[in-house]
Amino acid sequence: MAERRVQRRLAAIVAADLVGYSRLVGDDEEGTIARLTALREELIYPSVAHDHGRVVKSMGDGFLIEFPSVVNALRNAVELQREVAERNADQPEDRRMEFRVGINLGDIVMDGDDILGDGVNVAARIEALADPGGICLSGAAYGQVEGRLGLAFDDLGEHTVKNIKKPIRVYRVRPDGAAAAARATPPRGGLGMAPLDKPSIAVLPFDNMSDDPEQEYFVDGMVEDIITALSRFDSLFVIARNSSFVYKGRAVDVRQAAQELGVRYVLEGSVRKAGNQVRVTGQLIEGATGTHLWADRFDGRLEDIFELQDNITVGVVGAIEPALRKAEIERSRRKPPENLLAYDYYMRALPHAYAFTPDDNIQAADLLDRAIGLDPRFAEALACAAWCREQRVVRGWPTAQPDDVETGVALARAAIATESENANAIAMAGFVLGMLGREYDPALRAVKRALDLNPNAGMVSMLAGMANVFFGDLGVALDCLERSRRLSPSDPQAHFHLFGISCIYLLSGRYEDALAFATKALGVNAEWDSGYWILAAALAYLGRAAEAKEAVSKLLTLAPGVTLSRLRAQLPIRDQERLEILLEGMRTAGLPE
Helix (H) or strand (E) holding 165: none
d(CA 118, CA 13): 11
What's the CATH code, domain 335-454?
A: 1.25.40.10
pLDDT of 235 strictly over 70: yes
pLDDT at 210: 77
* CB 181, CB 74: distance < 8 Å: no
Mean pLDDT for 343-370 is 90
Reported as a pLDDT band with limits 50, 70 and 90, residue 588 is very high
Identify the bridge partners of residue 109 per DSSP, sorted by sequence position: 8, 116
Reported as a pLDDT band with limits 50, 70 and 90, residue 449 is very high
pLDDT at 538: 94
* CB 245, CB 216: distance < 8 Å: no
Mean pLDDT for 202-228 is 80
| Tens digits of residue pLDDT in 36-68 | 888 888 888 888 887 788 888 887 678 888 888
What's the CATH code, domain 200-320?
A: 3.40.50.10610
Pairing of strands 277-286, 265-274: antiparallel
pLDDT at 414: 94
Say which residues have a Cβ less than 8 Å from residue 328's Cβ, sequence separation at least 6.
Answer: 199, 347
pLDDT at 338: 62
DSSP state of 44: I
Identify the bridge partners of residue 279 per DSSP, sorted by sequence position: 272, 299
Reported as a pLDDT band with limits 50, 70 and 90, residue 360 is very high
Say which residues have a Cβ less than 8 Å from residue 419's Cβ, sequence separation at least 6.
Answer: none
pLDDT at 386: 96
CATH class, 460-593 region: mainly alpha
Say which residues have a Cβ less than 8 Å from residue 288's Cβ, sequence separation at least 6.
Answer: 157, 158, 159, 255, 258, 264
One CATH from 1.10.390.10, 3.90.1200.10, 3.30.70.1230, 3.40.50.300 for 8-178: 3.30.70.1230
Closest by Cα among 295, 229, 298, 227 to 263? 227
pLDDT at 434: 95
Domain with CATH 1.25.40.10 in the chain: 335-454, 460-593
| Tens digits of residue pLDDT in 87-123 | 877 777 777 888 889 999 888 888 777 888 888 888 8
d(CA 75, CA 440): 54
Task: Say whether 310 sits in a helix, a strand or coil.
Answer: helix
Mean pLDDT for 72-81 is 87
pLDDT at 391: 92
239-243, 248-252, 266-270, 503-507: range with lowest mean pLDDT:
239-243
Cα-based distances in Å from 302 to 210, 213, 218, 271: 14, 16, 10, 13
| Tens digits of residue pLDDT in 409-434 | 999 999 999 888 889 999 999 999 99
Average pLDDT of the chain to the nearest whole number: 83
Task: Identify the sign of the CA torsion 387, 388, 389, 392.
Answer: positive
| Tens digits of residue pLDDT in 290-346 | 888 888 888 887 776 667 777 777 878 877 778 787 787 887 777 776 667 788 888
DSSP state of 456: T
Pairing of strands 114-116, 99-111: antiparallel
Task: Say whether 11 sits in a helix, a strand or coil.
Answer: strand
pLDDT at 6: 62
Helix (H) or strand (E) holding 22: helix 21-27
Domain with CATH 3.40.50.10610 in the chain: 200-320
pLDDT at 188: 30
pLDDT at 147: 67
Mean pLDDT for 190-205 is 60
Identify the bridge partners of residue 136 per DSSP, sorted by sequence position: 102, 172
Query: Alpha helices of 418-528 — where are they, by DSSP H?
Result: 423-437, 440-453, 458-471, 474-487, 495-507, 511-524
* Residue 160 or 507, more confident: 507
Task: Say whether 574 sits in a helix, a strand or coil.
Answer: coil
Q: Output phi, psi for 6, to 5 deg.
A: -70, 135
Percent of the chain residues past pLDDT 90, beyond the cut: 30
d(CA 14, CA 52): 13
* CB 160, CB 49: distance < 8 Å: no
